[in-house]
Homo-oligomer: A and B are copies of this chain.
């Protein structure tokens, strides 16, 4: 064991949300070298007694204050090129979080400041640009065959809100009528709450919450 190199292991988070019809990512301004004052994904070292998933959940909590009954957190991929961190051999396990718009970033730790930035994001520190791109692509793909678009919504939401999530993430227009039919007839996608909300004007919209399905059968297909 001692003949092999010593690594540090970090978790980095690609936290995405939909705000004002734009996809946003939570970024921090680095307060320490390297890349001092540069934008980076939030993250940090895995602690001695932590699982990887636990470290990611902790970072998510620290950045948002969310104790995470809402939203979605999953492992994305690991990155470990020998030169990816000038300080030494660091492998990072990236996680992808999909969150409703509510959370306000909380500065702390190495982060001089944190902010939700609309995509496309500025140049990022380390290989975080690549990690972010991988996360966005994963999110786009997963909206097709899972109900995870609901992770971008509050606990109760309207069909229109859900459609706006799809349109934003995919950067595409979806027919409101076909979308309504698809969402309400795919088993386990959403279930009606029974109440309605009215926007400023117009007919009140029914509220739904996420259903029990883990996978969409058949999937929601991206427009060609």
Chain A interfacial positions (CB closer than 8 Å to B): 1, 4-9, 45-52, 75, 77-82, 87-89, 91, 93, 145, 217-219, 221, 224
User: How far, in Å, is A174 (CB) from chain B's closest CB?
Assistant: 18
Decide: A91 and B91 in contact? CB cutoff 8 A.
yes
Main DSSP-derived SS at the A contact region: loop
- Residues of B within 8 Å of A75, CB to CB, are 77-78
- Residues of B within 8 Å of A221, CB to CB, are 218
Q: Work out how many copies of this chain go into the complex.
A: 2
- Residues of B within 8 Å of A77, CB to CB, are 75
Decide: B8 and A1 in contact? CB cutoff 8 A.
yes
Distance A49 CA – B218 CA, assembled complex (angstroms): 45
Given contacts A52-B78, A78-B93, A219-B219, 14 further A-B contacts (CB under 8 A): A4-B8, A4-B45, A4-B48, A5-B45, A5-B47, A7-B7, A7-B91, A48-B82, A48-B89, A52-B79, A52-B91, A75-B78, A91-B93, A145-B145
Name 9 A/B residue pairs within 8 A (Cβ), A-sorted: A4-B46, A4-B48, A5-B47, A7-B7, A7-B8, A7-B91, A9-B80, A48-B82, A80-B93
User: How far, in Å, is A73 (CB) from chain B's closest CB?
Assistant: 14
Closest to A85 in B: B1
- Residues of B within 8 Å of A1, CB to CB, are 8, 45, 87-88
- Residues of B within 8 Å of A8, CB to CB, are 1, 4, 6-7
Decide: A46 and B80 in contact? CB cutoff 8 A.
yes
- Residues of B within 8 Å of A87, CB to CB, are 1
Decide: A7 and B5 in contact? CB cutoff 8 A.
no
Known: A52-B78, A75-B77, A80-B52. A46 touches B5 (CB 8 A): yes
Distance A50 CA – B51 CA, assembled complex (angstroms): 25
- Residues of B within 8 Å of A4, CB to CB, are 8, 45-48
